[in-house]
Amino acid sequence: MQILVLNGPNLNLLGTREPEIYGATTLADIEAACISHGATIGLTVSCAQSNCEGILIDHLHAARGTMAGVIINAGAYTHTSVALRDAISAIALPVVELHLSNTHAREAFRHVSLIAPVCVGVIQGFGARGYNLALDALKGHLTRA
């Protein structure tokens, strides 16, 4: 089973961007851990990141027919992008929404996710460990384990 781990805007700055919120782990570290953990649980993981909404949508469209599911940390687009929501709906794949921080413990504008209603689940607040949790959850969803 192939899984896409898709990261949105500013996540390329992990490790240096507000480490008190997002931690010291880099995106490269997270991607390597996802690939490793995925292999351990029988998943083939591909990773992508973009700061551009349209490119994220292109990745979602490309996942259709090639991936079994998607894990997306859409960053700030979570709270603003109807286009990402529509793309998630259109690809008809199980998608897990992921956030490093607990968005409900932050600014009020981060409390509403436009994409959560079209995702199979949401994992947030566990830092970089959340990616492994998301992989486990998505594998369970796909295999009904």
The H helix count followed by the E strand count for the chain is 5, 5
Question: Cβ distance 131 to 36 under 8 Å?
Answer: no
- Give the tens place of pLDDT for each residue, 98-124: 999 899 878 888 899 999 999 999 999
Average pLDDT over residues 92-96: 98
For the four alpha carbons of 81, 87, 43 and 122, in that order, the dihedral sign comes to positive
Using DSSP bridges, classify how beta strands 121-124 and 95-99 pair: parallel, antiparallel or unpaired.
parallel
Domain count, the chain: 1
**Active site (catalytic) residues:** 22, 99
The distance of Cα 27 from the centroid of its chain, to the nearest Å, equals 12
Domain containing residue 65: 2-143
CATH number at residue 89: 3.40.50.9100
Q: Which of 46-50, 106-110, 140-144 has the lowest mean pLDDT?
A: 106-110
pLDDT of residue 145: 54
- Rounded to a whole number, what is the largest CA-CA distance in the chain? 39
